[in-house]
Structure 1
Amino acid sequence: MKAVFMLLIAGSLTLNAQNKIPVYLDENKPIDERVEDALSRMTVEEKVAILHAQSKFSSPGVPRLGIPENWMTDGPHGIRPEVLWDEWEQAGWTNDSCIAFPALTCLSATWNKDMSLLYGRSIGEEARYRNKNVLLGPGVNIYRTPLNGRNFEYMGEDPYLAGKMVVPYIKGVQENGVAACVKHYALNNQETNRHTVNVVVDDRTLYEIYLPAFKAAVQEGDAWAIMGAYNLYKGQQACHNQYLLNDILRGEWGFKGVVVSDWGGVNDTREAIFNGLDMEFGSWTNGLTEGASNAYDNYYLAQPYLKLIKSGEVGTKELDEKVRRILRLSFLTTMNTKRPFGSFATEEHALAGRKIAQEGIVLLQNKNNILPIDLNTTKKILVVGENAVKMMTVGGGSSSLKVTYEVSPLDGLKKRIGSQAEVLYARGYVGDASGNYNGVVTGQNLEDNRSEAELIAEAVSMAKDADMVIFFGGLNKSNYQDSEGRDRKELELPYNQDKVITELVNANQNLVYVNISGNAVAMPWVNQVPGIVQGWFLGTEAGNALASVLVGDVNPSGKLTFSFPVKLTDNSAHTPDGNLGAATYRFPGTKDEVKYNEGLLVGYRWHDTKKIKPLFGFGHGLSYTTFEYGKVAADKKEMTTDDKITFTVNVKNTGSREGAEVVQLYISDLKSSLPRPLKELKGFDKIKLNPGEEKTVTFTVDKEALSFFDPDKHDWVAEPGDFEALIGASSTDIKSKVKFKLK
């Protein structure tokens, strides 16, 4: 009503004869009616104007009608600091320091949909408070290779898990009147040549591996926006792609929302008009090249589109469809007077981030029960590694953040342990001493001019005198590591960390390695190091979360969402198998083309089917307690395609402390007319159990869980025959199985 009042004062709006407000401003009317009413009042120029950006992160509304601008913000891990109107440089605000939430790899590793909802609600509140109505996230591109620099922003290698975890996130964000913009649709699985590479993938692999999470986001999550990808598919840019956007997204899935381009992802006006794009944003001020004086008027969906309309070369049917979708977005967000006000940089959000981080941390190896740290006997702890002190919220690309604070692993340990034990620090290695990204400056001085030999010698000398050594290593968010724009060059740890770890464990066998990364790394010393923890990028509360798990205040319950290969060639995108073509051709391919010749066999599907033992398998994660699985049972031996079948299994906590276990259901098709992976995840449940407590876990599946995509029929097929349900603690730790038949 405030918008109506202001428009009446300005004289640009008059009430109708019945003294009623216009339909488009009446929130009691259905959105479709409001959209049509607003559309009927707009000029062609106003319609074209709302299709494209007016600044780095905003697009125009319709001031004459009181329809506000749209303001985007980068997620998916926190609300990006304000930049200048036309540039990436910082705007210099003093009140835009946010809470950084854990990276999405950590969120998915919780295997807990409640944590996903909490995440979405919290970050949605932060976006709403900052008056952003579109959050550019979450990301659900599939983890195809451990070298993808952007994997840390995604949800792992399994399409079923990613689909189940993305839906609550979307719902949580959109409860705040903020649109989730799910990205990057589709097949954006590498940063190398991302603007030019055409992905060659068969239909079956596309539908079974790379599309299900996006489909879930649309049909189950009701996402209000989708972001296109940079790469090409079938020779067309993904941001204006007939097959992906018109045929599948809108045609097959019924998507009603807005398709937003990735920044600078538009390359052709006519394709953008006809192939499903709604809103164009760009990396430079004109979306094409740097520094044009008439800026946003030069966008593909700006003056070039308007000229085609006015010359009669194209009609306005597609224009009206785009505007309808953008107006709908406005009525759901900026024009919704009932949406909450949000909150920003609060303690509540910081604690939510810590809770998610604690649930996502994965205990990979725990020989001799080296963890949790026994503070009764451990009185001197040596912390080694640059990642123990380096801020990880700055850098990495568009998810780089300016935060209110960030607790380092070293500070988190010192705070938690206090006077119970002495905590010392040695650098061990120098990685990237810089702390400046896009004008956000950490203020850390990590310069160290000592030689590699001197740094190692210091750490080894101190290790000999310590009760325990904790090495915080892994990757960082610098170029060619976990960072947008460039892929990793190798699976091995950077900065010669392997040498440091080897020398440390030779000096002190009580060594725990904490891997800070969003990707798998090689661990040639795995048999010598008793304790290994996957520590992710955990955001604002990183150090506190890690300390709580290391000392045992929190029992770890995270599980891996991607496989750790022993060596790079054990990953299907890098295997030298002659039948699949040269490894360099499959990843990263040439400048113009990459072939997904491994097909369906991504991640654990490859390891299982080819009998290649991973370093740590998909779904793996240990606990400080132990769990005993009973035998899985089915409620029937046969089911029909319009029926369901239910599996039950008892799980008991046989240890001495409370813990949570992720019970996983895999389905195996024992005989199929088309090749299928050995097994596929089709259900999971995270349960908490007190010592001695036992619970029954139930999974119910229908024909969808048994189906594969038949490219000849272009449809999902549940083929009659014999199947097997497998219950496991991970893909490599199957506890029991039961056969059943589909009639």
Structure 2
Amino acid sequence: MGVLSVVTAQPKIPVYLDRTKPIEERVENALSLMTTDEKVALCHAQSKFSSKGVARLGIPEVWSSDGSHGVSDEKIWDEWGGAGWTNDSCTAFPALTALAATFNPEMAMLYGKSIGEEARYRNKTVLLGPGVNIYRTPLNGRNFEYLGEDPYLASQMVVPYVKGVQSNGVAACVKHFALNNQEICRGEINVNLSDRALHEIYLPAFKAAVQEGKVWSIMGAYNKVRGEHCCHSDFLLNKILKNDWQFDGVVISDWGGVHSTDEAVNNGLDIEMGTYTNGLTTQGHFPFSSYYLANPFLEGIKSGKYDRTVLDDKARRILRMIFRTTMSANRPFGKFVSPEHSQAASRIAREGIVLLKNDNQFLPIAVGKYKKIAVIGENASRSLVVGGGSTSLKVAYEESPLQGLKDKYGEANIVYSMGYASGPSLYGRAEPSKLNADSLVNAAIEVARNADVVLFVGGLNKNYFQDCESGDRKSLSLPFGQDKLIEELLKVNKNTAVVLLSGNAVAMPWVDKVPAIVQGWYLGSEAGNALADIISGDVNPSGKLPVSFPKKLEDIGAHSFDKLCYPGDSVNVYYKEDILVGYRWLDTKKLEPLFPFGYGLSYSTFTWSKPSVDRTDVKTDGTVIVSFTLTNSGKVDGAETAQLYVSKPKSEVTRAAKELKAFKKVFLKAGESRLVTLKVPVSSFAYYNEKENGWDVEPGSYTLLLGNSSRDIKGTMNVKVL
């Protein structure tokens, strides 16, 4: 008897589920199977941090997390409060000012890859970061989230960060597009500026993230530009981002940044989040179906008010992001609070710490050199990963500076006194400490008097009106009586070094009296270990300032005019300093900074040979190669950052005295020499021609300036552009 064989036909996999197919083919197939209601549902939130997928087709939801320097804890469905999970405590990486201070794109790649792994492990679709808004004023409460004052530096650092995050199948979301350079009146202030300032200063990092980093999402800003809210600005989103730059990703609103259905539909927004909050505090319970891009959008589509091609474009972009992330065939699994992430956080922190002053080699302080080290200052023991607004983190651990110093020098050799106290970290208001300020000062003075050396650990914190979302700083000065305390400490112990932890420049009226100053930023989970490594000399500092430290606030361009220049009149703000932001203003106006952009000392010394160029005549589409020999002429291994600035002394338009166009961090062992080359495309010499609405390289003579800061120039070269 024969065997009857039954062949069962295998069901055909829909194209959109076939991960071997090209993404665009999958997107178009999924789009063809969706109803109008399903397409609209993609375009607005369904909870505080998620939006819908297409459950009927097995297309998952989009889940985002506040990010930039750590993956936020899980939130209650429609509230800002934490959900109380026990498995969502992350690694805190250094804030982005510290990353920028490394001047090392390799650290940016490590940073992005590491934080992306944490986001992937938590199954996030989108990490809401990094931030690349330009540091226009040291009073901006969110500067610590950004990559400094220079558009070239920010561009070079954001691209590897984005690539690192997205290598994990998680979309980076570069923010806040654009011109969110102050927190005062951030929800309604209308920014007025020239096209040159826009394109030369405030857009380059976003453009690099899109065109070089291939970022998959961008977040709009709260403010207005040219009368339009940035989250639905035809000028920014349709014309520049999607048309000129050919961005194929998703535009996500900032939370509460949407104000109109007509504008949200037609002006380039794709996903609306957080409507009817003020960005952080307002609790909702407002029905998601009432969002501007929910029922009002759906009704407009069905009535013919809105073009269906606009809806399809939004849905297509969102599907593309989902297929690039959650439904990608090559998405790794990620990892969370791993030893590798601690090592990454530590490496970035150590490379980002900047040695500002070191008279008579006061630092390093070798282990065993002193019997009694006084550590004074609240920031030595206060948590600096909480507060600050949406970047506040729930962390698995945080090594404080005090604990790091105890671990390094031995608990018996460290004595601690708080010295000053801030109030609790409250969003929306500043509340003073209930501790007695005079008692704290008196106790600290006694501790300092009886110590061999004093390490004052102060700066700012993430309280409201410090480094905090939704409120700018009130002044350039240190808060909580720190300046007076430092003066009192110096009276009883001149061996007092100052360690500043902050995301912003501060005034230093005591700068000439202290022998050593360290700028430490917010350093995350490994803060204490990284600082102790630098102070002890186990690691040689190599960070460089990504922002200028002015002697006084009025020396900064944004503060050199009237209040309409900053913070505006609550309706309009005018960028009267134009393209002269940060060191561009200080150098062009010949104002001496307290510490210049690009500045940072080492425990070693470096010798520079005379630089040379490979050609002195070059065409506009050419490249100039600068070469020189760098020698570590000191006794310890270290790193120096070569910075190449370009100047056009005689120009048909206003120009800054110099502009950063290349840099390279060079690691050298003691006594080692190396030939260093820097390549500069002549196209980077261009200015934005407002008459032609495009970039223009002027012919004529240019000066190239090689140095280790914007003010310390080691050699100059001249080239002629033909």
Q: TM-score w.r.t. structure 1 length?
A: 0.94
Post-superposition offset of 1:449 = 5.5
1:648 to 602, 607, 627: 627
Match of 2:639 in 1: 660
2:141 to 143, 149, 170: 149
Match of 2:421 in 1: 430
Post-superposition offset of 1:662 = 0.5
Are 1:394 and 1:400, in contact at CA under 8 Å, matched by a contact in 2?
yes
Match of 1:224 in 2: 216
The one-character-per-residue Cα deviations of 1:11-57 (angstroms, maximum 9, x if unpaired) are xxxxx999531111111211111111110100000000010000000
2:478 to 493, 496, 499: 493
Post-superposition offset of 1:427 = 1.1
Counterpart AA for 1:351: Q
Q: Kindly tell me: are residues 460 and 324 of structure 1, through their superposed partners in 2, closer, same or farther at Cα, counting changes over 3 Å?
A: same
Are 1:282 and 1:288, in contact at CA under 8 Å, matched by a contact in 2?
no
The one-character-per-residue Cα deviations of 1:449-507 (angstroms, maximum 9, x if unpaired) are 55322222221122122111000111000000000110000000001110000111121
Counterpart AA for 1:555: N
Are 1:287 and 1:298, in contact at CA under 8 Å, matched by a contact in 2?
no
Mapping of residues 359-378 of structure 1, within 5 Å: 359-378=351-370
Match of 2:499 in 1: 514
Q: What SS class does the counterpart of residue 45 from structure 2 fall into? A: coil
Match of 1:470 in 2: 455
Q: For 1:674 and 1:347, how far apart are their aligned partners in 2?
A: 52
Is 2:297 the partner of 1:305?
Answer: yes
The one-character-per-residue Cα deviations of 1:641-689 (angstroms, maximum 9, x if unpaired) are 1222211111111100100001000011121110100000000000111
Q: For 1:347 and 1:216, how far apart are their aligned partners in 2?
A: 31
The one-character-per-residue Cα deviations of 1:143-183 (angstroms, maximum 9, x if unpaired) are 00000000000000000000000000000000000000000
Is 2:234 the partner of 1:242?
Answer: yes
Q: What SS class does the counterpart of residue 149 from structure 1 fall into? A: coil
Any unmatched runs of 5+ in structure 2? 1-7
User: How many correspondences in the alignment?
Assistant: 713
Counterpart AA for 1:457: N
Q: Kindly tell me: are residues 425 and 289 of structure 1, through their superposed partners in 2, closer, same or farther at Cα, counting changes over 3 Å?
A: closer
Q: For 2:520 and 2:549, how far apart are their aligned partners in 1?
A: 14
Post-superposition offset of 1:119 = 0.5
Match of 2:382 in 1: 390
Match of 1:619 in 2: 598
2:573 to 594, 597, 604: 594
Is 2:535 the partner of 1:550?
Answer: yes
Q: Kindly tell me: are residues 380 and 196 of structure 1, through their superposed partners in 2, closer, same or farther at Cα, counting changes over 3 Å?
A: same
Q: For 2:398 and 2:280, how far apart are their aligned partners in 1?
A: 37
1:680 to 659, 671, 674: 659
Match of 1:693 in 2: 672
Match of 1:4 in 2: none
Match of 1:708 in 2: 687
Post-superposition offset of 1:721 = 0.3
Q: Kindly tell me: are residues 263 and 449 of structure 1, through their superposed partners in 2, closer, same or farther at Cα, counting changes over 3 Å?
A: closer
Is 2:698 the partner of 1:719?
Answer: yes
Q: For 2:548 and 2:274, how far apart are their aligned partners in 1?
A: 35
Are 1:394 and 1:436, in contact at CA under 8 Å, matched by a contact in 2?
no
Is 2:55 the partner of 1:63?
Answer: yes
Are 2:350 and 2:530, in contact at CA under 8 Å, matched by a contact in 1?
yes
Post-superposition offset of 1:292 = 7.1
Q: For 2:95 and 2:394, how far apart are their aligned partners in 1?
A: 15
Is 2:519 the partner of 1:534?
Answer: yes
Q: For 2:309 and 2:435, how far apart are their aligned partners in 1?
A: 67
Mapping of residues 280-429 of structure 1, within 5 Å: 280-282=272-274, 284=276, 295-418=287-410, 422-429=413-420
1:43 to 35, 49, 54: 35
The one-character-per-residue Cα deviations of 1:327-369 (angstroms, maximum 9, x if unpaired) are 0001001111320111111121112101100000000000111
Are 2:280 and 2:389, in contact at CA under 8 Å, matched by a contact in 1?
no
Any unmatched runs of 5+ in structure 1? 1-15, 439-445, 577-581
The one-character-per-residue Cα deviations of 1:698-723 (angstroms, maximum 9, x if unpaired) are 11222222111101001111110000
Is 2:244 the partner of 1:252?
Answer: yes
The one-character-per-residue Cα deviations of 1:108-146 (angstroms, maximum 9, x if unpaired) are 100111110110011000000101010000000000000
Q: For 1:255 and 1:406, how far apart are their aligned partners in 2?
A: 38
Q: What SS class does the counterpart of residue 145 from structure 1 fall into? A: coil
Post-superposition offset of 1:293 = 5.9
Are 1:157 and 1:562, in contact at CA under 8 Å, matched by a contact in 2?
yes
Counterpart AA for 1:424: V
Q: Name which of structure 1's ranges 68-77 and 285-294 shifts more when overlaid on structure 2.
A: 285-294
Mapping of residues 450-469 of structure 1, within 5 Å: 451-469=436-454
Q: For 1:417 and 1:571, how far apart are their aligned partners in 2?
A: 40
Q: What SS class does the counterpart of residue 406 from structure 2 fall into? A: helix
1:481 to 466, 470, 476: 466
Are 2:422 and 2:433, in contact at CA under 8 Å, matched by a contact in 1?
no
Q: Kindly tell me: are residues 349 and 168 of structure 1, through their superposed partners in 2, closer, same or farther at Cα, counting changes over 3 Å?
A: same
Q: For 1:590 and 1:285, how far apart are their aligned partners in 2?
A: 23
The one-character-per-residue Cα deviations of 1:549-571 (angstroms, maximum 9, x if unpaired) are 00011000000000000010011
Counterpart AA for 2:507: A
Q: What SS class does the counterpart of residue 564 from structure 2 fall into? A: helix
Are 1:281 and 1:287, in contact at CA under 8 Å, matched by a contact in 2?
no
Q: TM-score w.r.t. structure 2 length?
A: 0.97
Post-superposition offset of 1:447 = 11
Q: Name which of structure 1's ranges 468-477 and 282-291 shifts more when overlaid on structure 2.
A: 282-291
Post-superposition offset of 1:311 = 1.6
Q: For 2:29 and 2:522, how far apart are their aligned partners in 1?
A: 47
2:16 to 18, 21, 24: 24
Match of 1:5 in 2: none
Q: For 2:537 and 2:282, how far apart are their aligned partners in 1?
A: 53
Q: For 1:182 and 1:679, how far apart are their aligned partners in 2?
A: 27
Are 1:102 and 1:537, in contact at CA under 8 Å, matched by a contact in 2?
yes
Counterpart AA for 1:501: I
Q: For 1:20 and 1:615, how far apart are their aligned partners in 2?
A: 69
Q: Kindly tell me: are residues 569 and 24 of structure 1, through their superposed partners in 2, closer, same or farther at Cα, counting changes over 3 Å?
A: same
Counterpart AA for 1:622: L
Are 2:422 and 2:432, in contact at CA under 8 Å, matched by a contact in 1?
no
Q: Name which of structure 1's ranges 175-184 and 461-470 shifts more when overlaid on structure 2.
A: 461-470
Counterpart AA for 2:127: L
Q: Kindly tell me: are residues 586 and 127 of structure 1, through their superposed partners in 2, closer, same or farther at Cα, counting changes over 3 Å?
A: same
Is 2:174 the partner of 1:195?
Answer: no
Q: For 2:312 and 2:264, how far apart are their aligned partners in 1?
A: 14
Q: For 2:350 and 2:278, how far apart are their aligned partners in 1?
A: 43
Counterpart AA for 1:312: G
Q: For 1:375 and 1:92, how far apart are their aligned partners in 2?
A: 42
Match of 1:7 in 2: none
Q: Name which of structure 1's ranges 22-31 and 564-573 shifts more when overlaid on structure 2.
A: 22-31
Is 2:262 the partner of 1:270?
Answer: yes
Post-superposition offset of 1:286 = 12
Counterpart AA for 2:657: L
Post-superposition offset of 1:416 = 1.0
Are 1:373 and 1:552, in contact at CA under 8 Å, matched by a contact in 2?
yes
Post-superposition offset of 1:437 = 7.0
Are 1:87 and 1:284, in contact at CA under 8 Å, matched by a contact in 2?
no
Counterpart AA for 2:572: E
Q: What SS class does the counterpart of residue 54 from structure 1 fall into? A: strand
Post-superposition offset of 1:90 = 1.5
